[in-house]
């Protein structure tokens, strides 16, 4: 496990209001693009999750810059980040921390685990057993860790960016529904288009080192104060009764689908509401539109759906089922 310390205090100006925070957080995209090519949707998902106080599940084949993206985002935000490589022998205490004997005083003391950070990269989370996966549940949901009967708050802001590989199933432990539901969004990092892949090769030929984010010219343009200011501003974004009803109708349409054994829960509906508000604020609006809801629906809901066994045998795609449910709900005008 590794960590990148934040920039020295004062390196990033403190946000004085929502407008300044939005300007700085928007500038993060430009900084990330200096090191990561062609993953704009993933950057949007991470920023939305940060503004909601949520978490992100990132899926992509090896080599699609999942780790690089998180490291670059942390550098542009001047927040602390740590990485944990999930393996079959990883124990819960390796993540949350544990009680150890202080040799100097002969007493038990708490040694913090890597979860005590702003941005935790949980690499290949589906390669560790459910017991260790569940160690993240309280941290993700409550923003705290309980060890030896004592609850310890995590730093603010706090985001878990977990990665999983969609092609290597041998030796993996699928995430249970309860943990999948804790992720605000799921973003898929695709193989880049030809032009983007050529740009990646051009950068590497010019000397780009993915282990050296600073060498790519990435600088801190926002800080924890901007994220906190943005989180407060997002809560003021207005949601009309019509848009709220639209979200509820989408959730209910998934529950009525004959192809699904598990539809969107009320938690999923509220997640879509939170994500839509964050996106609306990020693009400069103080109200949510139906288009905001539609644009965030796939990333926010698809990982919460479960196919019926017979639908799986027929090769039904859960994303298409969600698209069908969306298409069946009238869009408010």
The mean pLDDT of 150-173, rounded to a whole number, is: 81
Q: What is the mean pLDDT of residues 265-282?
A: 95
Would you state the pLDDT for residue 4? 47
Determine whether domain 2-230 maps to CATH 3.40.50.670. no
| pLDDT top residue among 63 and 35 | 35
On the question of a common fold for 2-230 and 237-328, the answer reads no
> Class assignment of domain 237-328?
mainly alpha
Domain ranges in the chain? 2-230, 237-328
pLDDT of 146 reads 83
Look up the pTM and report it. Answer: 0.86
Strand pairing class (2-4; 81-85)? antiparallel
**Which pair of structure tokens corresponds to residue 25?**
């957080």
Q: How far apart are CA 290 and CA 49, in angstroms?
A: 19
State how far the Cα of 51 lies from the Cα of 283, in Å rounded to an integer: 13
* Token pair listed for 321: 């089922």
Beta strands in the chain (DSSP E): 2-4, 56-59, 81-85, 97-102, 107-112, 119-123, 144-147, 150-153, 159-164, 185-188, 260-262, 306-307
Answer for the pair 163, 121: CB distance below 8 angstroms, yes or no: yes
Q: For residue range 112-151, what is the model confidence (pLDDT) as tens digits? A: 889 999 999 999 888 888 888 887 877 888 888 888 788 8
Buried b (16+ CB within 10 A) or exposed e, 113-123: bbbbbbbbbbb
Q: Determine how many CB atoms are found less than 10 A away from the CB of residue 220.
A: 20
Per-residue pLDDT tens digits for 212-267: 888 888 899 999 999 999 999 999 999 999 999 999 999 999 999 999 988 899 99
Task: Summarize pLDDT for 168-188 with one digit per residue, the tens.
Answer: 556 677 787 778 888 999 998
Tens-place pLDDT, residues 284-333 = 999 999 999 999 999 999 999 988 988 888 888 899 999 999 999 999 98
Which tokens hold the place of 299?
Answer: 């990333």
- DSSP helix, strand, coil percent of the chain (3-state; round to 5): 45, 15, 40
Look up tokens 């009764």; give the residue.
241
């Amino acid at each position: 496990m590794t960590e990148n310390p934040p920039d020295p205090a004062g390196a990033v100006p403190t946000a004085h209001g929502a407008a300044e925070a939005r300007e700085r957080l928007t500038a993060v995209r430009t900084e990330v693009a200096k090191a990561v090519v062609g993953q704009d949707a993933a950057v949007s998902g991470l920023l939305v999750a940060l503004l909601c106080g949520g978490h992100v599940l990132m899926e992509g084949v090896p080599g699609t810059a999942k780790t690089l993206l998180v490291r670059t985002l942390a550098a542009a935000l001047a927040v602390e980040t740590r990485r944990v490589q999930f393996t079959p022998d990883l124990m819960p205490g390796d993540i949350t921390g544990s009680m150890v004997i202080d040799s100097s005083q002969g007493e038990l003391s708490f040694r913090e685990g890597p979860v005590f950070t702003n941005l935790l990269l949980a690499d290949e989370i589906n390669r560790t057993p459910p017991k260790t996966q569940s160690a993240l549940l309280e941290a993700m949901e409550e923003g705290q860790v309980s060890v030896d009967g004592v609850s310890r708050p995590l730093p603010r802001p706090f985001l878990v960016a977990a990665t999983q590989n969609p092609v290597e199933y041998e030796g993996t432990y699928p995430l249970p529904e309860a943990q999948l539901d804790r992720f605000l969004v799921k973003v898929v990092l695709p193989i880049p288009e030809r032009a983007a892949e050529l740009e990646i090769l051009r950068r590497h030929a010019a000397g780009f080192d993915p282990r050296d984010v600073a060498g790519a010219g990435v600088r801190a343009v926002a800080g924890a104060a901007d994220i906190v200011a943005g989180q407060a501003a997002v809560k003021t974004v207005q949601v009309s009764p019509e848009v709220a009803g639209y979200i509820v109708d989408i959730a209910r349409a998934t529950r009525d689908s004959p192809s699904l054994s598990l539809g969107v829960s009320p938690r999923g509906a509220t997640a879509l509401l939170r994500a839509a508000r964050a996106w609306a604020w990020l693009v400069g609006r103080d109200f949510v539109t139906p288009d905001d809801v539609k644009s965030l629906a796939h990333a926010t809901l698809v990982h919460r759906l479960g196919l019926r066994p017979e639908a799986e045998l027929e090769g039904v795609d859960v994303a298409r089922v969600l698209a069908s449910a969306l298409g069946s709900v009238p869009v408010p005008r």
